[in-house]
Amino acid sequence: MIKFYKYQGTGNDFVMIDNRSGFFPKQDKALVAFLCHRRFGVGGDGLILLENDEQYDFRMVYFNADGSESTMCGNGGRCLVAFAKQLGIITNDKCRFIAIDGEHNATIDKDNKVSLQMIDVQEITVNKEYCFLNTGSPHHVELVRNVKEYDVFNNGKEIRESELYAPGGTNVNFVEQEGPNHFRIRTFERGVEDETLSCGTGATAVAISMYLTGKADDTTIKIDVEGGNLKVAFEVDENNKFSRVFLSGPAELVFEGTIEI
């Protein structure tokens, strides 16, 4: 029997497991995929292990829903902060943890709104039709019309599997401007291999791309996702290096339980 917790951040949902004792068989991809399966398991866009680390409050280990260990997940990181607070690892409103892309600082308020510092970003490819950058995970960002009706699955899958991003592929974000410094996005996530209701590293990538290409003129940007609302804030210097990048939004416990494996 495995004890699990289910968290969601603007509809991006995760199976959370307290692995401080090191019991979880991380090499078992089939087990991870089973736990993330929405018919036979708990169900989630990914699975996250909270582990001990001597230098940090905790360590984040993130797996895609297909069982593969993945790059950084922004909403997953925010949910993990809320999970750490529930477990009593965080005794105030601040924490510092380590993930696959490095160190992260975060704050959490009484309403479980988490503000997570993402990695600094400087290497950004800007083309006429799209931007590409890594915000902890790789992201293709493309402006479209009528994003609500856009065929995210088929168009996202085509870009994700294209020669442009071979062999590893990329996440794909389709964007429409809603107002000044306000954008709506839909994201096709690799590893999930489908559209998700939200993507934190994707929202971060969109905010930076829109600022860099002149579609936004403020360093605080609102991002509407299918599952709710996020905010991205950053600092930027004369060399277009983006630092002190913060992704903010809700992170909520949905339910907890045990499952037999």
Active centre residues (catalytic): 73, 199
Question: What does the alpha-carbon distance between residue 120 and residue 245 come to, in Å, rounded to a whole number?
Answer: 7
Closest C-alpha among 6, 248, 243, 253 to residue 108: 248
Spatial CB neighbours of 50, under 8 Å, sequence gap ≥ 6: 16, 17, 18, 19, 20, 58, 59, 60, 80, 83, 84, 87, 89
Are residues 113 and 248 in contact, defined by beta-carbon separation less than 8 angstroms?
Answer: yes
Asked if residue 161 belongs to a known ligand binding site, the reply is no
Asked if residue 146 belongs to a known ligand binding site, the reply is no
Vertex 22: Cα angle to 13 and 46 (nearest 5):
15
Asked if residue 171 belongs to a known ligand binding site, the reply is yes
Asked if residue 200 belongs to a known ligand binding site, the reply is yes
Asked if residue 227 belongs to a known ligand binding site, the reply is no
Structure tokens at 112: 């479980």
Asked if residue 75 belongs to a known ligand binding site, the reply is yes
78 DSSP 8-state letter: H
Asked if residue 239 belongs to a known ligand binding site, the reply is no
Helix (H, G, I), strand (E, B) or coil at 50: strand
Are residues 119 and 72 in contact, defined by beta-carbon separation less than 8 angstroms?
Answer: yes
Question: What does the alpha-carbon distance between residue 156 and residue 158 come to, in Å, rounded to a whole number?
Answer: 5
Asked if residue 201 belongs to a known ligand binding site, the reply is yes
Asked if residue 64 belongs to a known ligand binding site, the reply is yes
Binding residues: 12, 64, 74-75, 171, 189-190, 200-201
Binding residues for substrate: 12, 64, 74-75, 171, 189-190, 200-201
